[in-house]
Amino acid sequence: MTRLRTFPGGAHPDECKELAEKRAVKRIPAPETVRVALCQHLGAPSTPVVKKGDKVTRGQEIGSQNGFISLPTHSPVNGTVAGLEEAPLPHRRSGPVVVISTESEGGGPAFEPWPDFESRTPAELIERIKLAGVCGMGGASFPTYVKLSPPPGKKIDTLLLNGAECEPYLTADHRLMIERTEDVAAGMRILARALCVDDPAVGIEDNKPDAIEAFGKAGIRVEVLRVKYPQGAEKQLIKAVTGREVPVGGLPLDIGVVVQNVGTAAAVAQAVRDGEPSLRRIVTVSGGGVREPGNFDAATGTPFSALIAEAGGYGDDVARLLSGGPMMGLAQFTDAVPVTKGTSGIVALTSKEARRLTEGPCIKCAKCVDACPMKLVPCLIAANSENEKWAAADELGALNCMACGTCSFVCPSDRFLVHYIKRAQDMIRASKRSKEA
């Protein structure tokens, strides 16, 4: 038995994976109307290149890349542009959206497929990944091609695929890994070639033995990780697998590492090998608030409500609707928001499942301190934030908080630690900006 790798700190939330982990991915047709966000990736939203009334085909560019940290956006369907508008989105209050009336979903590949990707140069591969609009599918939605283009002088020696999927309820990556092992494996080879890395590995938590086995059979190096939240956080994954620590304020590439989500790898394979832009993704719909949890392959622009309907509709008690898992996901005020490339899951929590909304005083039990995977002192940062002592919060390393929520999760007083720390981060950043100006 291989040693289970992990990182210091962390917590063990109920996994709740059993609700959806056995449900095979079901491909659902695009709805009558899709609302495709132009800001599905981190960075500048793409610039719309279609107008109301335009006919669009599946895979056609409807938004063009707008700067280095940006991506083009493509239409997931054949249809007619019904309008351009500002609409609520799952990851931000609102953003520019292209509304398209769906006519059909068929058609050939948008780009020339490259089944012979091994003969392409890294530059060609990276260009294709960019043109296909591939961004991180694990949550942060960072443009993938940027991560593959390290500044000159930085040598990348390690590529890690992130298959940890440590958020409770979410099983999309798990299903992907066992149902589309070949896609992930191909994507991994493409990414390794783009980075000139020899021996890439995938990290998987040991609650997914079938995924571990599938990759093992496919001849991929698997690093088995202990089940612990947030094992899938980039820095924690790197620490667990390589023992290296990403320097404070730095990036994984500073220590020669690139991490890509397994979903991203599959999207890369589709883009390069099959000539398919990033148009769809697997979304877990789960939580006690839906009747038939499952995993669905949905077009971007599909409203959450349509996926909930696929999952048998809401149960009697839905206290909160989340985009993403319960630890880092974002609460939604409406289920009219559309699926984006970064939508890993839609979770409807009952009032029993959801965390209490009243907080008590900090009893300094230090549970948050022992659990923080960044080795911060959350209770003290939060106390300074509450007292508006921003400089003291900064000194305690508030900016290094990745908002993983572990501290709030373990707090017996249900303190809103993440909220206080995020507020401190905003204030510290603002004061740093004003000092520079």
Partner 1 sequence: MAEARTFQLSMSPHFGSPQSTRRVMYDVVIALLPALAGAVWLFGFGGALLPVLLSVAAAVAAEFVCLRLMGRSTSAALDGSAIVTGILLAYNVPPGVPWWLPVLGSVFAIVVGKQAFGGLGSNLVNPALLGRAFLMASFPVLMTAGWSAPFEWRNPSAGFGTSGIPAAQVSALPEADAVTGATPLRAWKDSFGIDEHEGAAVRENLSTPGTYMNLLTGRRGGCIGETSIVLLLLGALYLFVRKVLEWRIPLAYLGAVALFGWILGGPGFLEGDALFSVLTGGAVLGGFFMATDMVTSPVTRRGRIIFGIGAGLITIIIRRWGGYPEGCSYSILLMNLATPLIDRFTRPRMLGEVRKHA
Q: Find the binding residues for ligand SF4 in span 347-366 (CB under 6 A).
A: 362-366
Is 366:379 a contact under the CB 8 Å cutoff? Answer: yes
- 385 lies in the binding site for ligand SF4 (CB under 6 A): no
Query: Under the criterion CB under 6 A, does residue 399 sit at the interface with ligand SF4?
Result: no
Sequential DSSP letters for 365-423: --HHHHH-TT---HHHHHHHHHTT-HHHHHHTTGGG-----HHHHH-TT---HHHHHHH
Decide which of ligand SF4, partner 1, none touches 84; Cβ closer than 5 to 8 Å per partner kind: none
Q: Output the CA–CA distances (angstroms, integers) from residue 334 to 86, 87, 291, 330, in the order listed.
A: 15, 11, 19, 12
**Quick one: which of 10, 31, 301, 345 contacts partner 1 (CB under 8 A)?**
31
Q: Which of 269, 409, 421, 427 binds partner 1 (CB under 8 A)?
A: 409
User: Taking a C-beta distance cutoff of 8 angstroms, is the pair 312, 290 a contact?
Assistant: yes
Q: Is 110 in the site for ligand SF4 (CB under 6 A)?
A: no
Long-range own/partner contacts, residues 42-47 (CB < 8 A, 24 or more apart): 42/69, 42/135, 42/140, 42/141, 42/142, 42/143, 43/67, 43/68, 43/69, 43/70, 43/71, 43/142, 43/143, 44/69, 44/70, 45/70, 45/95, 45/96, 46/70, 46/71, 46/72, 46/73
Q: Does 138 bind ligand SF4 (CB under 6 A)?
A: no
Query: What does 326 interact with, of partner 1, ligand SF4, none (CB < 5 to 8 A by kind)?
Result: partner 1
DSSP per-residue letters across 267-279: HHHHHHTS---S-
Whether 320 and 47 have beta carbons less than 8 Å apart is answered as: no
CA dist 400 and 227 (Å) reads: 23
Q: What is the largest CA-CA distance in the chain?
A: 62
Instruction: Pick the binder of ligand SF4 from 240, 376, 393, 427 (CB under 6 A).
Output: 376
Q: Which does 148 bind (CB under 5 to 8 A by kind): ligand SF4, partner 1, none?
A: none
**CB of 348: closest distance to partner 1 in angstroms?**
8
Letters for 158-187 (x = contact with partner 1 by CB under 8 A, - = none) are ----------x-------------------
Q: Are the C-beta atoms of 203 and 226 separated by less than 8 Å? A: no
- 32's contact among partner 1, ligand SF4, none, with CB below 5 to 8 A by partner kind, is partner 1
Q: Is 322 in the site for partner 1 (CB under 8 A)?
A: yes
CB of 371 to partner 1, least distance (A): 10
Among 28, 44, 251, 403, binds ligand SF4 (CB under 6 A): 403
Q: For residues 68-127, which are near partner 1 according to CB under 8 A?
A: none
- Give the one entry of partner 1, ligand SF4, none that residue 415 binds, where binding means its C-beta sits below a cut-off of 5 to 8 angstroms depending on kind: ligand SF4
Query: Which among 273, 280, 19, 255 is positioned nearest to 158, based on CA atoms?
Result: 255
Taking CB under 8 A as the criterion, which residues in 32-71 touch partner 1? 32
Residue 364 near partner 1 by CB under 8 A: yes
Choose the contact partner of 421 out of partner 1, ligand SF4, none; CB within 5 to 8 A by kind.
ligand SF4
CA distance 86 to 94: 6
Which of 69, 336, 391, 430 forms a contact with partner 1 (CB under 8 A)?
336
User: Given the complex with partner 1, which of 174 and 235 has the nearer CB atom?
Assistant: 235
Please give the residue ranges that form the binding site for ligand SF4 (CB under 6 A).
362-368, 372, 374, 376, 378-379, 401-407, 410-413, 415, 417-418, 421
